[in-house]
Amino acid sequence: MARTRKLFTPPEGRTRYKSGDRQILCQSAPIPFWEIPPYLLKHPAIPGFHAPWLWCGWYGEKFLFKVFQEHFPTEVIYDYCGRPDELATLLKLPRLLMKKFDIPEMHRSRILVTDVATPNGWVDTGFAIGSNYQGVLPHSSGELLDKITQEFFGGKEAEWILDNRLWRWTPQKRAKSSDSDSEELDYYEPPSNPQEPFSEEYIDHLFAQTKDRGVDD
């Protein structure tokens, strides 16, 4: 029986990636929330390699901005010509969503706006509530995730969206034990979050822009 190729591995049975593979592999995402293969979750099934980074959430700058406008119309940021600045506005979404749904501060690192790869290989804006490495907002009962899905995104379920940078399997970085000089390896260092977080000072600046226009926080 032929072995089933794992998602995002080099096409055509190759063992190495080459130019043009990214656009081909992007077609395998997004993955429906409940259909992600176990081997793509935190502990990879390919020895010596880390799985691609997949964000759990929603994507599409136009779609996200429309949803934002519907729920937080007074928080929209406008440019000097009076046109909505969609991306700057969306950067306020994590903080506003946490406040709206009373999400504990401990989950802040999972909720963010980031670049994602679309099925056609382009780059778009995504809104994440977790990842295959960080985990997703607690959903053992399904209440919080379901509430956000139904009340904020009109019933549109979150999906697993491919990161724009970490879209392929990557070699694990070998690391020695901190108290030993032996060559024996104790663990593999996971990839770091590909999203460079914006500082709280910068986010505060975005909120100040709506306050300057006479809008309450």
Q: Using CA atoms, how far apart are residues 214 and 217, in angstroms rounded to an integer?
A: 10
Output the pLDDT for position 190. 54
CB 176 within 8 A of CB 186: yes
Strands (E) in the chain, as ranges, are 31-32, 49-50, 54-59, 112-117, 123-131, 135-136, 159-162, 170-171, 173-176, 185-189
State the pTM of this model: 0.82
Along the 217 residues of the chain, how does pLDDT read in single tens digits?
Answer: 445 788 999 999 898 999 999 999 999 999 999 999 999 986 656 777 889 999 999 999 999 999 999 999 999 999 888 999 999 999 999 999 999 999 888 888 889 999 999 999 999 999 999 999 888 887 554 688 889 999 999 999 999 999 999 999 988 766 555 554 444 433 445 566 666 656 667 667 766 766 555 444 4
Q: Using CA atoms, how far apart are residues 119 and 49, in angstroms rounded to an integer?
A: 23
Output the pLDDT for position 216. 44
CB 22 within 8 A of CB 117: yes
Output the pLDDT for position 9. 93
Output the pLDDT for position 83. 93
What DSSP line would sit under 162-208, residue for residue? Answer: EBSS--S-EEPEEEE-TT--SS-EEEEEPPPPSS-PPPHHHHHHHHH
**Residue pointed to by tokens 């506005």:** 89
